[in-house]
Amino acid sequence: MEVQIFGIKKNTDTRKALRFFAERRVKTHFVDFAERAASLGELKRFAQRFGVSALIDHESKRYRELGLTHSCYTDERWLEKLCEEPLLLKMPLARAANRLTIGLAETEWRSWLAT
């Protein structure tokens, strides 16, 4: 099994996800949004499963800095905004084959490893 983790190294939940899989000797491929922006296609995959609003971290500092509290964007515009501003994303985004998670989801990850 190989897991792809998207996030930023400075994010505590991203570090916890990386540690979770490392402790279980699962091969991970980490995509650091600080070095490479999120692709629209990748975000659409998560948005189709969970909805665009699930991708947005409404509690993040960057969300408040940009004054997005009262914004009324379409889903397409939100996806574009998330590509431009990866700090607006809930992290980590994890993918193993067709299985996806947003945020810290250790229970779900354990079920991945059990199968």
* Cα separation, 6 vs 29, whole angstroms: 9
DSSP per position, 50-62: H-HHHHB-TT-HH
* Cα separation, 89 vs 79, whole angstroms: 10
What pLDDT shows up at residue 70? 82
What pLDDT shows up at residue 68? 87
Task: Give the N- to C-terminal CA distance of the chain in Å, as an integer.
Answer: 10
Domains of the chain, by residue range, sit at: 2-114
* Cα separation, 76 vs 95, whole angstroms: 22
C-beta separation of 45 from 100 below 8 A: yes
- CATH class assigned to 2-114: alpha beta
Q: What is the mean pLDDT of each run of 10 residues along the chain (115 residues)?
A: 94 96 96 91 94 93 87 90 93 95 96 91
